[in-house]
Amino acid sequence: MTVVVEKFFALLRIALSSSGEGLSVFPVCSEKEWLELQNIATKQNSLGLTFKGISRLPAEKRPPLGLLHQWACEAELIKGHNAMLNREAARLTDLFVAQGRHTAILKGPANARLYPDPYSRQGGDIDIWVSGGRDKVIGLLGQLGLDYVRDPKIIEAKHHVRLARSSQECDVEVHFSPVSKSRNPFVCSRLLHYLEDEIKNTERVPEGFYVPSLRFALVMQLSHIQKHFLHNGIGLRQLTDYFVLLQHSTQEDRDEVASQLVRLGLARTCAALMWALWHVFGLEHDRMLCKPDKMRGKWLLEDVLAGGNFGFYSKKGELGFLRGWIWKRWRSIRFFAFDPVETAWNEFYYWKWFFRSIVSRIKLRRLSLKGLHG
């Protein structure tokens, strides 16, 4: 890790500390270093959170005035976006509850409300789980006049649909399953059973929507991190969310989740995550779910820093379609050393999809379907 990256971590720790711990030891940065810090924050969708840290610094340690104003404007936009997400999540909750459905907001606004400053988390879309199963939920969307996106080039996800943007203020995914299925069939049913049972334990929060239990969030979001890390990449925002969840969890929550890691196929990723959270945020050992794995943790963190949010800044985007496809296959081969079982199942399902998609490619008279090469 470079000196600037370590300063970035220090800024995050200041932002997340209730007492402003670390202020006295944060060094004076040059203008060049502040520009690098802003670039990292942009790649990691952490501009709002880092500004929270900056606002706690004494005047002599803050960025140059022009850069500070720019950062402040970004933070204000993020604050407004969070307020809109909360309004929309509450509106959708009321809409579905009025139809007799149980709901829960997954990730996003549900995580943001746990931050020391709930408006500092850089939000994206809304993920809302609605009870009833796929067919009933899609039928309900039709009754409510909520159209969802249909694209012949995209194989429809089996656990959610994305609402057409004209229906609401932001992107919304309506989930009829609490998590996308694991590629490993030997743990998939156990994971779904655990989450489907645990999501029954929801509570309505002052923001106006329902949130699932901390146990559900810890398992579901660990599965989410594992899936994206092994596929395209994960970002520091998801790691920050997990740190915040652990800070709010009880010992009973952590003991319960820790007891499920092996049977749910999450043990290796969890061990890597615990080390990364210790290195970045100083996660205490008594709040860890398992013993940290330094080798896998460094691998996870280096990939996060190189790829940015969900791997958006990875090399794949610079290589074009064919070379990008080769890079992705090589990346997958490399990940056998991280988690051979999950990686093997990922590759099996990729090639299964690849050969099944030949019919679609023939219909569209295209050699490839861009965006679908996994």
C-alpha angle 115-105-206 in degrees, rounded to nearest 5: 60
pLDDT of residue 318: 62
The ranges assigned to domains in the chain are 97-212, 213-312, 320-374
Question: Which residue bears the tokens 């996660």?
Answer: 283
pLDDT of residue 311: 78
Residues in the chain: 374
Q: Residue 146 corresponds to which tokens in the numbers above?
A: 């909520």
pLDDT of residue 152: 42
Please check the confidence at residue 22 and state whether its pLDDT lies above 90. Answer: no
Calculate the alpha carbon distances from 60 to 4, 19, 28, 30, 95 in Å: 18, 20, 8, 11, 50
Q: CA nearest 115: which of 50, 176, 170, 177?
A: 50
Please check the confidence at residue 154 and state whether its pLDDT lies above 50. Answer: no
Q: What's the mean per-residue pLDDT of the chain?
A: 88
Tell me the per-residue pLDDT of 192-246, one tens digit each, with 9 for 90 and over. Answer: 999 999 999 999 999 999 999 999 999 999 999 998 898 888 999 999 999 999 9
Question: CATH for 97-212?
Answer: 3.30.460
pLDDT of residue 366: 56
Tell me the per-residue pLDDT of 257-279, one tens digit each, with 9 for 90 and over. Answer: 999 999 999 999 999 999 999 99
Q: Count other C-beta atoms under 10 Å from residue 350's C-beta.
A: 16
Q: Residue 28 corresponds to which tokens in the numbers above?
A: 């004076």
Q: d(Cα 302, Cα 315) in Å, to the nearest integer?
A: 14
Q: d(Cα 359, Cα 365) in Å, to the nearest integer?
A: 10
What would the mean pLDDT of 33-37 be, rounded to a whole number? 97
Q: pTM of the entire structure?
A: 0.90
Tell me the per-residue pLDDT of 108-128, one tens digit each, with 9 for 90 and over. Answer: 999 999 999 999 999 989 999
